[in-house]
Amino acid sequence: MEICKICIIFATKNVELVMKTVQTTETTEEKRELVPDVHTPLTAIKGKSMSAPARFLMDQGLIQGRALDFGCGYGFDTDQLRQRGFDIIGYDNYYRQDEPEGRFETIMCIYLLNVLDPLMQTRLLMRVSELLKPGGKAYFAVRRDLVGDKAFHGDFHYQCNVRLPFISLYSTDEYEIYLYQHYNYQPHHTTQRCSFCKLNKRTKMICETATCIAFYDSNPVSRGHALIVPKRHVENYFDLTPKEIQAMHIVLNRAKEIIDAKYHPDGYNIGVNVGESAGQSVFHVHMHLIPRYKGDVEEPKGGVRGVIPGKRDY
């Protein structure tokens, strides 16, 4: 779906998508926002020493500022790092269930992607992108030693090998660590003269997956106007792969949830301009998510039919 390459080792259970309602604070007003819970199988094992990826990140001085151990299990790495003076908290949907608040300079996610199905992997990447401060860094550690079935707490669970389209920071026969930053903070080696391929750091990001991003339009039609953009440079929507189209719609739905919580619109227009004759001005596929509000036009009937003057009413 989203992760570049997936090899299923063993699967016996379906992983459900669970939506949680949590309390968030924006300025002085309390709002309720739907947060996608990355609901994982029970695979945590009590550690006796710090995990190798966590120790690497510590030894290399990569855990900076306020940090989050996402999917921390019992929290052994978290506790060991706190004892060494790091400002870090842990989150796990079984063992440390307090939702993380605010944003973080550093997020580490160790081996969690290996036990999630593709949809949950996508949800995890979006959630980390939302929790990471602009300019912050996230580190995804994935196992490289999966060779067969593995039992956790007496039961077998889904496992998969994972390849990410991010910078590979360090790799051994046992694990690999990827460095992730928001798309507009990543180095982009491209010859394309495209504003979407080289987003400005001032761009207000909404969420991101391995292949798709959502951000607020710099010239919005209405409050909360967002763009959903595949990372691969493609001019025509109909030239996207099925997986890229699916990724766009996953991100679209998540962006809609965030905009609902922040702006409370009364409706939406969703649209893609394909070709100059249809009004496309940036020739990198992008989908508009335009919130609509009662009274924003005198007569909204017809909606997108209004792209042809005189054809809105019927």
Higher pLDDT, 10 or 295: 295
By CB atoms closer than 10 A (0-12, 13-18, 19+), residue 280 is: middle
Is 194 part of any domain?
A: no
The answer on 72 and 143 residing in a single domain is yes
Q: Is 97 in contact with 59 (CB distance < 8 Å)?
A: no
**Do 42 and 97 fall within a single domain?**
yes
Torsion of CA 131, 89, 187, 160, to 10 degrees: -90
Q: Could you tell me the pLDDT band of residue 120, with boundaries at 50, 70 and 90?
A: very high
Average pLDDT over residues 11-28: 34
Token pair, residue 27, equals: 């300025």
- Comparing CA positions, the residue from 147, 187, 192 lying closest to residue 166 is 187
The reply to whether 120 and 216 lie within a common domain is no
Give ∠ CA 16-152-68 in degrees, rounded to 5: 65
- The domain that contains 105 carries what CATH number? 3.40.50
49-85 tens-digit pLDDT: 899 999 999 999 999 999 999 999 999 999 999 999 9
Residues whose CB falls within 8 Å of the CB of residue 302, separated by 6 or more in sequence, listed in order: 311, 312, 313, 314
Do the domain assignments include residue 198?
Answer: no
Res. 14: pLDDT tops 50: no
* Residues 164 and 210 reside in one and the same domain: no
Note whether 211 and 169 are same-domain residues.
Answer: no
Q: Token pair for residue 183? A: 């798309």
> For residue 145, with 0-12 CB atoms within 10 Å meaning exposed, 13-18 middle and 19 or more buried, which class applies?
exposed
Structure tokens at 298: 């005198």
Within this chain, do residues 10 and 143 fall inside the same structural domain, yes or no?
A: yes
Is the per-residue pLDDT at 31 higher than 70? no
Q: Which residue has the tokens 């550093």?
A: 106
Residue 196 lies in a domain: no
Whole-number pLDDT of residue 38: 58
266 & 171 share domain: no
Annotated active-site residue 153? The verdict is no
Chosen domain end from 181, 213, 242: 181
Asked whether residue 160 carries a pLDDT value surpassing 80, the answer given is yes
Q: What are phi and psi of 171, to 5 degrees?
A: -145, 140
Regarding whether 126 and 42 lie in a shared domain, the answer is yes
Whether the pLDDT of residue 156 is over 80: the answer is no
**pLDDT at position 253, please?**
97
User: What is the structure's pLDDT at 18?
Assistant: 32
How many domains does the chain fold into? Answer: 2
- Of 157, 182, 225, 286, catalytic: 286
Which contiguous run of DSSP H or E holds residue 82?
helix 76-83
The model's pTM is: 0.83
Residue 154's pLDDT band (cuts 50, 70, 90): low
Say if 195 falls within a structural domain: no
- Give the domain CATH number at 291: 3.30.428.10
Over the chain, what is the mean pLDDT? 85
Domain that holds residue 295: 205-307
Domain end position, chosen among 181, 215, 239: 181
